Amino acid sequence: MSRFAKFAWLVLGYNVLVILWGAYVRATGSGAGCGSHWPLCNGEIIPRSPTVETLIEYSHRLTSGLAALLVLAMLIWAFRAFPRKHIVRFGALMSMVFMVLEALVGAGLVLFEQVADNVTMARAVWMAAHLLNTFILLGWITLTAWWASGGSRFALRGQGSAGWGVFGALFLMTLIGMSGAVTALGDTLLHLGAIEKNPLVGETLLALRIYHPTLAIGIAVYMILVLTNLALARPSPTILRLALGFNGLYLAQLGLGALNVWLKAPVWMQLVHLLITDILWIMLVVLSASLLANQPQARAIVQEPKASITP
Ligand code: HEM
């Protein structure tokens, strides 16, 4: 594996850690630790006499700032190491675009005070949008690392029903994630004792929590049937391993989700549930890219010369 590819996987791993720390900020109600100031923290570059909430929020800003710098370094390196129009350059560029958007969403959360014990429907929309952008950002970093490690590029056209199957899996996974983010908000507000601040919205958010597990369980059927079928129709050792691994981990995540509910979503369990989600998402992105790159026509073209030798 090239040094660039190793670096790209490292950037991906580091971003997952930053995401987990971001969830810790939310789960501990520390999002207003720097007041409604951004990028300054309580009007200061380095907070003096910080509270625990300030330390948690400030360290998230520092670690996510480093994540942005790492993605920028990956972009510059990609443009130096790969020729014009190379797919790795495109992946690194898209990673940078969604990193900038991620920073803007994070800044928006703070500036519009959609943090700590704020109980509004607008916050639920922000949470879902934040998760969507995080997924897309992780997706592009994953693709950059995957392509730099020798993964083939793929065309979106001419994929037939397989294309729709893959698109469906990615879309449904995003839907589960976004519904999870709303569920996490309900649980956080409950833990912070904030429901009473706005009982109508608070109770609605608590009632919405049922949709996330329902969706996750229902979608399991799609994931297992469609991904297994696609993997068997377009097999390669990587595809078969990824499909098996993804489906197994997805089923395990259903169990962890149930445990999460049973334990009443303690912070550590929220982090474990989110870590598994990120791993599932990364596996699904690589599986999707591999499936789309492994078109039967493409394989037939490669095999054609051999076939013509045999009498
Ligand atoms: C493969 C299926 C699943 C995926 C990908 C998934 C994903 C997620 C995500 C992304 C969050 C938001 C995490 C955050 O923002 O911190 C979440 C939250 C949550 N999920 Fe799931 N989930 C799945 C299945 C389930 C199931 C089956 C249950 C319950 C039976 C469940 C229960 C919860 C609960 C209680 C929360 C809120 C507390 C927390 O943040 O951990 N999940 N889930």
Whether pLDDT at 300 is above 90 = no
Q: Where are the domains of the chain?
A: 1-118, 152-296
CA 284 from chain center: how many Å?
10
Whether pLDDT at 310 is above 70 = no
Q: How far is the CA of 24 from the centre of ligand 1 (A)?
A: 15
pLDDT digit string (tens) for 19-59?
999 999 989 988 888 888 878 888 888 888 889 999 998 99
Q: How far is the CA of 265 from the centre of ligand 1 (A)?
A: 9
Place of tokens 């004792």: 193
Q: Classify burial at 20, counting beta carbons within 10 Å of its beta carbon; exposed 0-12, middle 13-18, buried 19 or more.
A: middle
Task: Please give the pLDDT value at position 192.
Answer: 92
SS3 state at 118: coil
Q: How far apart are CA 89 and CA 83, in angstroms?
A: 8
**Ligand 1, atom 10, residue with closest C-alpha:** 177
Q: How far apart are CA 187 and CA 23, in angstroms?
A: 12
Q: What tokens does 241 get? A: 């391993």
Continuous H helices in the chain: 3-27, 52-81, 87-111, 121-148, 160-191, 199-208, 211-233, 237-262, 267-293, 296-309
pLDDT digit string (tens) for 78-127?
999 999 999 999 999 999 999 999 999 989 988 988 888 889 999 999 99
Q: How far apart are CA 243 and CA 154, in angstroms?
A: 18
CB-CB neighbours of 212 under 10 Å: 22
Ligand 1, closest atom to CA 26?
A: 16
Q: How far is the CA of 212 from the centre of ligand 1 (A)?
A: 7
Ligand 1, closest atom to CA 273?
A: 41
pLDDT digit string (tens) for 128-161?
999 999 999 999 999 999 999 999 888 888 888 9
